[in-house]
Amino acid sequence: MRALTWHGKHDVRVDTVPDPKIVNPRDAIIKITSTAICGSDLHLYDHTIPTMQAGDVLGHEFMGEVVEVGPGNSKLKVGQRVVVPFVIACGQCYFCKQQQFAACDNSNPAETADMSEFLYGYPMTGAFGYSHLTGGYAGGQAEYVRVPYSDIGPIVIPDGIEDDKVLFLSDILPTGWMAADNCEIKPTDTVAVWGCGPVGLFAVQSAFALGAHRVIAIDHYPHRLDLATTMGAEVINFDEVDVREALVEMTGGIGPDACIDAVGMESHGFTADSVMDKVKAAVKLVTDQTHGLRQVIIACRKGGKISIPGVYGGVTDKFPIGALMEKGLSVKSGQTHVQKYMPQLLKLIMDGKLDTTFLISHRLSLEDAPAGYKMFKEQQNEVTKVVLKPGMIRH
Amino acid sequence: MTSPISETAHGDAPLYTAKHPDPLAVEGELSPQRGDVLVGRTVTIDRPREELYAFWRDFKNLPRFMRNIRSVTTEDGRRSHWVVEAPAGKTVEWDSAITHDEPGRAISWESLDGASVRNSGRVDFLDSPDGRGTVVRVTLTYDPPAGAVGKLIAKLFQKEPKIQARQDLRRFKQLMETGEVSTAQPPDAAPRA
């Protein structure tokens, strides 16, 4: 089959690789009809996530048609259309039973689980196409993918709903939703969202859907800020104003009740701390550039809530622990429990209450995936989301 | 990575080998001799302990989750023959006997005279005090052999016996909770270029 593979920093290629097979009883094979490039794929593209190996198949946002089902899965049927969560979860461990699917204790293979156990104290959960820290599973930017524990993850999509309406159930829609859900929003709340990429924009949408009084979106790409405005958010361009001062003004001196960091580890800006982060990252003293997160913590109101859907992988310094403690902030973070949120979000989409198609700026053939990565990386103002269609004829 | 035996004994050993009294304390069966490598690891598995005990007690099942064991054949209710992978495609074999058997609760075994690597093991199955299933504790001891050949064989056990124990127990948990062992082994399970 054809698949998008990683070969090094800013080097991804479409290669011919072997077809995946059913190897465990609960596996299924999915023929991919739509798959997206995620903002977090850019961390792999930039090689800021360790444990990548040349030849790895990328992609963790995908959907398609079931073409083969293992003998241990009595739920899926050949021919069904499914969206697959990026988190691989067994459904039977203590964590899965608490609906903490992104903490599944079993899906990361025993051999690869060691790395994250050393890094984080306990092993990470398995995920598709996202380095060997999460298991080295092949991703879905391909013609076919093997889905382990396929009786738990994939959600069946009724006929008549096109791919573009439901594809983002695989990651970014539930991720934006959980980011807002983690803010425990009250009707009088003002929620500030750092980063108007796909997750940030879905967090804006979700915060309103969960009852936020006001949402303030922060970015520096005019087109992305426009999209946030369309959804009803007030916006701050961090190139033009001091973010904390603007937030203080806009909230009558109180500060936002909840702050969402939808930026993650490659946060940029031209302040002294972010320049130091870059220098240290270059000499491998720290791995994560966290200017955005520092600003989030400083800008949040006393007793407020911080939600971090943005991806981080390593350590940082100059972390404002004093502000966190003295202001009594609470922090929620983590990879998304996709399986928990999928059914309610599918219903909201089917009821016409949630539309995610506005985000898609480019639809490309799988063969054009390398160009898709390049433009998503380099033209962040115009390129809001790239969807790859393995079945599409190349232009 | 090299770690002194003392670190192995303390670093990854179950808490009940330390000075702290353990709420799940068990009566000791293993009495490792001076110089032995002691490895311990604890995992909680969300299945009843009788079921876990029964699976483990049938030693033929061990290769399903212990990666370096090629086969275990049981000769009678007590004795078994182990074939274990060694470096360079070779195998090491020995006979082992069960020294303690408490149905639903614990199993201990020990290699018999003539084993190239003298070893013993014990597994305990204890009800999790918080109702999360069964706390499974494995303790293994190895006596590193002397000499050049012994050194090669010892490599298999000494390289990272605690890594082996850790990974084997993860696979045991996966198999018992989900019915399968998670894998992303190329090319079938995870194609790659």
Q: Which tens digit of pLDDT belongs to each residue from A339-368?
A: 999 999 999 999 999 999 999 999 999 999
Contact A110 B170 (CB under 8 A): yes
Average pLDDT over residues A250-259: 98
Q: How confident is the model at residue A317 (pLDDT cuts 50, 70, 90)?
A: confident
Domains of chain A (ranges, CATH numbers) = 2-171+336-389 (3.90.180.10), 173-333 (3.40.50.720)
Query: Where are chain B's structural domains?
Result: 5-18+35-178
Q: Mean pLDDT over all residues of chain B? A: 80
Q: What is the pLDDT of residues A142-174, one digit of tens each?
A: 999 999 999 999 999 999 999 999 999 999 999
Distance from CA of A99 to the nearest CA of B (A): 15
Q: Which of A61-75, B6-20, B25-39 has the lowest mean pLDDT?
A: B6-20
Encoded tokens for A302: 């006393």
Residue B19 has pLDDT above 50, yes or no: no
pLDDT at B190: 96
Residues of chain A above pLDDT 90, percent = 86
Higher per-residue confidence, A286 vs A312: A312
CB contact (8 A) between residue A25 and residue B163: no
Contact (CB<8Å) B178/A149:
yes
Residue contacts between A and B (CB atoms, under 8 Å) = 114
B148 interface with A at CB cutoff 8 Å: no
Residue B137 has pLDDT above 70, yes or no: yes
Tens digit of pLDDT for each residue in A179-188?
Answer: 999 999 999 9
Interface ipTM > 0.95: no
For A117-126, B15-24, B75-84, B182-191, which range has the lowest pLDDT when averaged over its residues? B15-24
Q: What is the mean pLDDT of residues A279-294?
A: 70
- B-proximal residues of A, 312-371, CB under 8 Å: none
Q: Which residues of A touch B181 (CB under 8 A)?
A: 24, 109-110
Average pLDDT over residues B4-32: 42
Comparing alpha-carbon positions, the chain B residue that sits nearest to A146 is B189
- pLDDT value at residue B16: 38
pTM listed for this prediction: 0.89
Identify which of A93, A296, A106 has the alpha carbon closest to the alpha carbon of residue A192: A296
**Lowest-pLDDT range, A86-100, A330-344, B14-28?**
B14-28
User: Has residue B31 got a pLDDT over 80?
Assistant: no
For residue B85, name the pLDDT band (cuts at 50, 70, 90): confident
- Alpha-carbon distances of A196 from A346, A360, A390, B126, B182, rounded to whole Å: 23, 14, 28, 50, 36
Chain B residues with CB under 8 Å of A117 CB are 166
pLDDT at A14 (0 to 100): 98
Residues 33-72 of B with CB under 8 A from A: 44, 46, 67
Is residue B157 scored above 70 in pLDDT? no
Mean pLDDT value of segment B76-95: 87
Query: Which run of H or E residues covers position A35?
Result: strand A28-37
Express each pLDDT in B98-112 by its tens digit. 999 999 999 999 999
Q: Among A67-71, A149-153, A279-283, B120-124, which is the least confidently predicted range?
A: A279-283
For residues A136 and A44, give the distance between their C-alpha atoms in angstroms, rounded to a whole number.
Answer: 13
Nearest chain B CA: its distance from A20 CA (Å) = 5
Q: What does pLDDT average to over chain A?
A: 94
**Residues 40 through 69 of chain A touching chain B, CB cutoff 8 Å:** 53-57
> What's the pLDDT at B153?
62
**Cβ-based burial of A52 (10 A; exposed 0-12, middle 13-18, buried ≥19):** buried
A114 and B173 within 8 Å at the Cβ level: the answer is no
Which residues of A are less than 8 Å from B184 in CB distance?
109, 112, 126, 135-138
- Hey, is B144 helix, strand or coil? coil
Tell whether the model's pLDDT for residue B7 goes beyond 50. Answer: no
State the burial class of residue A38 (Cβ atoms within 10 Å of its Cβ: 0-12, 13-18, 19+): buried
Kindly tell me the burial class for residue A293, based on how many C-beta atoms sit within 10 Å of its own C-beta (0-12, 13-18, 19 or more): buried
**Mean pLDDT (whole number) for B139-152:** 69
Is the Cβ of A149 closer than 8 Å to some Cβ of chain B?
A: yes
Residue B53 has pLDDT above 90, yes or no: yes
- Nearest by CB to residue B192, choosing from A94, A110, A138, is A138
For residues A83-104, average pLDDT = 98
**Residue A93 in contact with partner chain B when CB distance is under 8 A:** yes
Q: A 118-137 residues with CB below 8 A of B?
A: 123, 126, 135-137
For residue A175, pLDDT beyond 60: yes
- pLDDT-based confidence at A287, cuts 50/70/90? low
Residue B2 has a pLDDT of: 36
The domain defined by B5-18+35-178 folds into Alpha-D-Glucose-1,6-Bisphosphate; Chain A, domain 4 (3.30.530)
- Does any CB of chain A come closer than 8 Å to the CB of residue B3? no
Mutate to test the interface with B, among A17, A30, A58, A105 (most CBs of B within 10 A): A105
User: Which carries the bigger pLDDT value, residue B21 or residue B100?
Assistant: B100
Residue of A22, A23, A57 to mutate for B, most B C-beta atoms under 10 A: A23
Backbone φ, ψ for residue A362 (5° rounding): -140, 135
Confidence band (pLDDT; 50, 70, 90) for B152?
low
- What one-character-per-residue DSSP string does B87-126 give? GGG-EEEEEEEEEEEETTTEEEEEEPTT-SSEEEEEEEEE
Look at residue B1 in the predicted model and tell me its pLDDT. Answer: 35
